[in-house]
Structure 1
Amino acid sequence: MKILHVAPYFKPSWEAGGPPRSVYDLASRQVAAGHDVTVYTTDGFKRRLSVATDVPVDVDGIKTYYFRNLSLYLAGNMNLPLPLKLPLTARREIDNFDIVHIHEHRTFLAVAVSMLAANRNVPYIVQPHGSVPTMSRGTLKRLFDLIAGNRVMYGASRIIATSDIESKFYLQVYPKLKPESIIKIPNPVDIPEKPLKGTFREKWGLEDRKIILYLGRIHERKGLQMLLRAFREINEGSVLVITGPDDHYEGRLLKLIRELGVEERVILTGPIYGKEKFEVYNAADVFVLPSSSEYESFGNAAAEAIACGTPAVVTSRCGISEWMDEHDGIITEPSVEGLRKGIRNVLEKRNLFDPSAKKFDPEFISSVFESVYRQVADHKYAVISDKWH
């Protein structure tokens, strides 16, 4: 197939978050499967990339256009990339593609390409990557939707969600969407190599301790206050490791740690990336995602822990809960007592849990997307639920 991905940022703009990595991983596997893959993107997020702009560049077999942003300030500070030369190329090439995959729909790129695709009867799908809810930057999002975002979403052949939780927000924000047009596919987890089990324990002197792990942003909505109160009642042989970047909450978290009297049993490592991150997952006895937010569309960290063979305790607010079975861990209500019982259960019965990475395997998920692409190109509704069994 001839596939076009449209994404505001792409390799190596990793500082823009998870979507650039997801697009690159998916496109790479599609190239390996023999597809002809093109990416339309921009020349950087908070920094301009050292790449040729507005012309095709080979990126690991992916034909990539890094269109020059009109303003790096608008791209990096307001998430408003404006690649003004993109429409000219898209108008010239759009008829060449069997399918267009738009990542993050509230962008100039998405609007330009979706309009051209609709005019030329080229089908496209949209994957918002968690950006649909209007709880943050709500006024700007609603204004964008009024001008163009509604047209992008309502014109799509399919909308990709990672969970039913995310799907419900799609229907709240875009009530004219047909529920059958929403396809649920989990985020993939790519573990580059088998992580070492003892490295993290040795570094922090935790060889004989039970490790309870949280990895993610240190933010008020993540439920860390509940996790700390639950952890206080867990036996003295355990340690809580909190790993991730501070998102304006670490000061209050440290104060709570002191108030609860658990300073000697809690370790804040700061952010950890790459191979070392997977070593942390592998070292843990249990991973906890205690989110109390009304919108945790998926929970990549929990999927990564499960893929590394570490059982997870997650709240029912997390979309990842819809993909878990009894071998992967425990799903609990977002409460101190629920988390406490879940963590104790996993620590006491660790041998009963055997997490599986299969449902998050990137090769498998790439094949699911191919199935969706082909059915969309053939003007059929994509029915893929059987692929998960």
Structure 2
Amino acid sequence: MNILHIVPSFAPCFSAGGVVNASYQIAKKQVEKGHDVCVYTTDGCQERLKFKDNYNVDVDGIKVFYFKNISNIVKNRLTIDTPISSISYLKKTIANFDIIHIHEHRHSLAVAAHRYAIKNNIPYVLQAHGSVLPFFQKEKLKEIFDEIEGFDILYNASKVFALTEVEKQQYLKMGVSQPKIEIVPLGINLEEYKTLPQKGKFKSKYGINESEKLIMFLGRIHEIKGLDLLIKSFNKISKENVKLAIIGRDYGFLNEIQTLIKQFNIEDKVIFPGVLTGDAKKEALVDCDIFVMPSRYESFTTSGLEAMACCKPLILTKNNHIHDWVENRAGLTCEFNEEELANCFEILLNDEMLCKKFGISGRTLIETKYDWNKIEKQIFDIYQTCLY
């Protein structure tokens, strides 16, 4: 099958968030199954992605076209893509594909792909990755976009992928018909977690004693992730021998949480390793005792799945759509409240057996439901229903 993925940013720009990793993992698995896979994306990242030839770059067998944004500053500050050259290229090549897989829909590549897919009668599926409803930031602009282009992109899709039942309800609220909606979760590549790094490497690197407990956040340093709540709750922990690692790229919220850290005089308890990938990320996961994602809103927590693959207990706020299958199974959940979050920390920090129980249960859940091999098979079966 000839498959085209449309996504605003792509590997190696993994710091841009979960959509990059998800689209990369799906495309890579499809290549492994023998499909001809292309990705049309932009060169936008924290720094422009530069290759000898931005067009037709081989990324693990995936043919990737990094169309150049007119302004990378506009891309990073306003999240607006400007890959003008992609329009003519899409027009010329779109008929070569059997199906198109659009990741997110409020971006210029999605607009162009939708228009030429319709003109050429090429079916497409849409995976919103938690961005179905226009809320949290730039709501008015999103609403305007939806009136001009967004609703058509949603309604003309052969299928739309919801990460969870909550996102399915969001599609319904936007007027998408129920038969078009398929629940397709994200996953992880379990093969990458067969052999884990030796315990203690991360702690040693950052001067953390083996006897000290480590709470870890892994994701974007962004207001939506609730890191202000995390710092306030962490400050309430009664135990002295606990450290907090906030791992990820700053999206304009670092100064605010550093101000809180100074206010509480806990600079010696919080570390910022920056963006970690590959073995460095796994070293951090292996050494942490608790994984936390205290989000104001979260459709899915891929980094939480990675923690579960390393047998770590999770703590999530109930603003996370996956909280219902994590609660008392792979970890604890709480309201977006500093007292409740602090209480969850206290429970797990004082109950090693409970942490171990959650860790084993979480690993089992990953193996049975959130392996990319199984998810790729589900996606391929959905593609076929769009073609025949």
Q: TM-score range by the shorter chain?
A: 0.7 to 0.9
Map 1:205-216 onto structure 2 (within 5 A). Answer: 205-216=208-219
For the pair 1:288 / 2:288, whether they are aligned, the reply is: no
For the pair 1:22 / 2:17, whether they are aligned, the reply is: no
Residue 356 of structure 2 is matched in structure 1 by 351
SS of equivalent to 1:10: coil
How many residues are paired up?
372
Deviation readout 1:31-76 (Å, 9 max, x if unpaired): 11111212223344552522435x5454432233344445555545
Amino acid at match of 1:367: K
Shift of 1:143: 2.3
Give, in whole Å, the separation in 1 of the partners of 2:345 and 2:105.
38
Deviation readout 1:148-185 (Å, 9 max, x if unpaired): 2221111112222323343444444x2x2123423222
Distance 1:247 1:63, change over 3 A: closer
Distance 1:155 1:350, change over 3 A: same
Distance 1:366 1:220, change over 3 A: same
Residue 155 of structure 2 is matched in structure 1 by 154
Map 1:197-208 onto structure 2 (within 5 A). Answer: 197-203=199-205, 204-208=207-211
Of 270, 275, 280, 1:276 maps to 280
Map 1:63-212 onto structure 2 (within 5 A). Answer: 63-72=63-72, 74-132=74-132, 133-172=134-173, 174=174, 176-190=175-189, 192=192, 194-203=196-205, 204-212=207-215
Distance 1:140 1:228, change over 3 A: closer
CA contact (8 A) 1:245 1:270 kept: no
Residue 382 of structure 1 is matched in structure 2 by none
Shift of 1:215: 2.7
Give, in whole Å, the separation in 1 of the partners of 2:49 and 2:356.
49
Amino acid at match of 2:147: L
Shift of 1:14: 4.2
Distance 1:87 1:243, change over 3 A: closer
Residue 311 of structure 2 is matched in structure 1 by 309
Amino acid at match of 2:286: N
Shift of 1:311: 0.8
Give, in whole Å, the separation in 1 of the partners of 2:208 and 2:8.
43
Shift of 1:307: 1.9
Which region of structure 1 is more displaced relative to structure 2, 300-309 or 246-255?
246-255
Of 361, 376, 386, 1:366 maps to 376
Deviation readout 1:285-330 (Å, 9 max, x if unpaired): 1112222x1x222223322211221110111111232443644112
Which region of structure 1 is more displaced relative to structure 2, 183-192 or 205-214?
183-192
Gaps in structure 2 of 5+ consecutive residues: none
Which region of structure 1 is more displaced relative to structure 2, 103-112 or 235-244?
235-244
Which region of structure 1 is more displaced relative to structure 2, 29-38 or 201-210?
201-210
Gaps in structure 1 of 5+ consecutive residues: 379-389
TM-score (norm 1): 0.83
Amino acid at match of 1:332: C
Residue 240 of structure 2 is matched in structure 1 by 236
Distance 1:5 1:229, change over 3 A: closer
CA RMSD of aligned residues (A): 2.9
Amino acid at match of 1:283: D
Distance 1:49 1:254, change over 3 A: closer
Give, in whole Å, the separation in 1 of the partners of 2:159 and 2:64.
24
Amino acid at match of 1:253: I
CA contact (8 A) 2:237 2:345 kept: no
Amino acid at match of 1:301: S
Which region of structure 1 is more displaced relative to structure 2, 315-324 or 73-82?
73-82
Give, in whole Å, the separation in 2 of the partners of 1:51 and 1:104.
28
